[in-house]
Amino acid sequence: MNPQEYTNLARVENSHWYYAGKRELVRHWIVRFLGETARLRMLDCGAGTGCFAAEMGAVHEVHVLDDHEDSLRMLRERFPADRVHGLGPEGMPFPCGQFDLVKMLDVLEQIKEDGEALKEVARVVKPGGYVVVTVPASMALWSDWDVALHHFRRYDRTTLRRLFGQCGELEVCHVNYTNTLVFPLVWLVRKLRFPRTQRRGEDYLPPAWINSCLRRLFVWTGMIRFPMPWGVSLLLVARRK
Residues 173, 238: contact at Cβ < 8 Å? yes
Cβ-count burial 104-141 (b if 16+ within 10 Å, e if not): bbbbbbbbeebeebbbbbbbbbeeebbbbbbbbbbeeb
Give the model's pLDDT for residue 99.
98
Give the model's pLDDT for residue 201.
59
What's the fold here for domain 3-240?
Answer: Rossmann fold (3.40.50)
Give the model's pLDDT for residue 194.
54
Give me the residue spans of the domains in the chain: 3-240
The alpha carbon torsion through 14, 16, 18, 23 (nearest 10 deg) reads 20
Q: Considering the entire predicted model, what is its pTM?
A: 0.91
Give the model's pLDDT for residue 187.
87
Give the model's pLDDT for residue 135.
98
Chunked mean pLDDT (size 10), the chain, 241 residues: 64 88 96 88 94 94 94 93 89 94 96 95 97 96 86 97 94 96 87 58 82 94 94 97 95
Using CA atoms, how far apart are residues 240 and 120, in angstroms rounded to an integer? 12
Give the model's pLDDT for residue 4.
63
Residues 91, 82: contact at Cβ < 8 Å? no
Amino acid at 22: K
